Amino acid sequence: MKVAKRIEELPPYLFAEIDRRIEEMRSRGVEVINFGVGDPDLPTPAHVVERLCEEASRPQNHRYPSYRGMTRYREAVAGWFQRRFGVALDPDREILALIGSKEGIAHLPMALLDPGDLALVPDPAYPVYRTSVAFSGGTPLHLPLEEEDGFLPRLRDIPEDIWREAELIFLNYPNNPTTAVAGHEFLEELVFLARKHQVVIAHDLAYSEITYDGYTAPSVLEIPGAKETAVEFHSLSKTYNMTGWRVGFAVGGGELISAFAAVKENIDSGVFNAVQLAAVAALEGPQDCVEANREVYRRRRDMLVDGLRSLGWEVDPPKATLYVWMRVPEGFDSGGFTAELLEKAEVVVAPGAAYGSRGEGYVRFSLTLPDERIKEGIERMRRAFS
């Protein structure tokens, strides 16, 4: 059987590979502690679950949903966005429902790239940015993210001919995997250069609400003129502990959203109406659950960072995201250190090199484990490396 070249050339998907390794060890009777995947262990808020149960029982919600999303859902998104970022959105033209932001990220390049078109992709980065460009027939060009630059790309160092050739640039702040954050000044420079060269910005803002120590994550759409050149992805997965529900949204200028919607109209049939209405309950309901989540993750962040530092490892507390990004100890590369943790401590982390060549020398720990499991993981590492 012939398999498409694009499939043959794919590297193993990071999180599928982590799951495979965990299952392999469990088959040998080993109980691993998994810091590898950022899947919240906290429950979805009760009022959201209750709304889903109510709406799932209504026959009118059992039919095909709207391709763009229910009007009620898009209105709720517009209201949340106005309250959170102070940006007005037209629910009919500037908002598109997604089956989770990953799905949207995977499909956007199909609306914007022709075969061979250039897309700028950060390195390291969430792997779907690269694969979505490749699947669309585009050509990814990696933008290095360096620790000395706060893991922000040097936008003005990108040659003029590259800017002129590029059609799309992916960015993600707060950042996965590096946990880096960006301020308004960086976003202003990004929007200026993107508008100047007519490059579309795809900004992944999945971690906008998981922030610490007084930091508040901005939206790129807060920058004047950004709607002309930006599509921003949002997810309810991390904010409301709804990873399995598969619901999110894209926002941006009407022309960009219309082109994006044309792809989705031909690929999927939208988000189950009951899930959209439960998402309305999340966006419009009490938000104390969001602050409670932040406090849990802040406590876990401090616990993990203190524990890793007690082992003599270099690590800084992140200002945002569900992760801790750590330089590996001297004498290791990221793959070797990951293997050492697994074999000696029965602890799983994500190797930085799996996010791109510039991730080499780092590993990523997730904070989506109960406190006692984090403590146990630290103790296992202490026994293994002391």
Domain boundary among 284, 299, 319: 284
82 in the same domain as 211: yes
205 in the same domain as 157: yes
- Tens of pLDDT, residue by residue over 248-291, are 999 999 999 999 999 999 999 999 999 999 999 999 999 999 99
- Tens of pLDDT, residue by residue over 25-84, are 778 877 899 999 889 999 999 999 999 999 999 999 999 999 999 999 999 999 999 999
Instruction: Report the chain's C-alpha Rg in angstroms.
Output: 21
Residue 12, pLDDT above cutoff 80: no
Among the residue ranges 5-9, 54-58, 106-110, 342-346, the one predicted with the least confidence is 5-9
pLDDT on residue 5 = 77
Q: How confident is the model at residue 347 (pLDDT cuts 50, 70, 90)?
A: very high
pLDDT on residue 53 = 98
CA angle 126, 153, 229 (to 5 degrees): 80
**What average pLDDT does this structure show over 125-136?**
95
For residue 305, what are its two tokens?
A: 């960072």
192 in the same domain as 258: yes
Measured distance CA(82)–CA(192) in Å, rounded: 23
For residue 83, what are its two tokens?
A: 């309250």
256 in the same domain as 131: yes
**What average pLDDT does this structure show over 221-245?**
97
Domain boundary among 284, 308, 332: 284
Structural domain that includes position 294:
5-43+288-385
18 in the same domain as 164: no
Which SS3 state, helix, strand or coil, does residue 337 take?
helix
Q: How confident is the model at residue 156 (pLDDT cuts 50, 70, 90)?
A: very high
269 in the same domain as 325: no
323 in the same domain as 200: no
Please say whether the beta carbons of 322 and 366 come within 8 A.
yes
203 in the same domain as 151: yes
What single-letter amino acid sits at 218?
Answer: P
Mean pLDDT of the chain: 95
pLDDT on residue 327 = 97
pLDDT on residue 278 = 98
Measured distance CA(341)–CA(153) in Å, rounded: 31
**What average pLDDT does this structure show over 361-379?**
97
91 in the same domain as 17: no
CA angle 36, 38, 44 (to 5 degrees): 140
Measured distance CA(55)–CA(278) in Å, rounded: 8
Measured distance CA(258)–CA(75) in Å, rounded: 17
Q: Which of 341, 352, 355, 349 lies closest to 13 in space, CA to CA?
A: 355
Number of domains in the chain: 2
Residue 16, pLDDT above cutoff 80: no
pLDDT on residue 21 = 74
pTM: 0.94
Please say whether the beta carbons of 320 and 312 come within 8 A.
no
225 in the same domain as 80: yes
Domain boundary among 243, 260, 284: 284
178 in the same domain as 69: yes
pLDDT on residue 2 = 79
179 in the same domain as 274: yes
For residue 310, what are its two tokens?
A: 């007690």
Please say whether the beta carbons of 242 and 216 come within 8 A.
no
Measured distance CA(97)–CA(227) in Å, rounded: 17
Q: Kindly list the distances between the CA atom of residue 73 and the CA atoms of 38, 77, 122, 259, 360, in Å, as whole numbers in the listed order.
A: 26, 6, 32, 20, 41
Looking at residue 105, which CATH number applies to its domain? 3.40.640.10
Looking at residue 354, which CATH number applies to its domain? 3.90.1150.10
pLDDT on residue 29 = 77
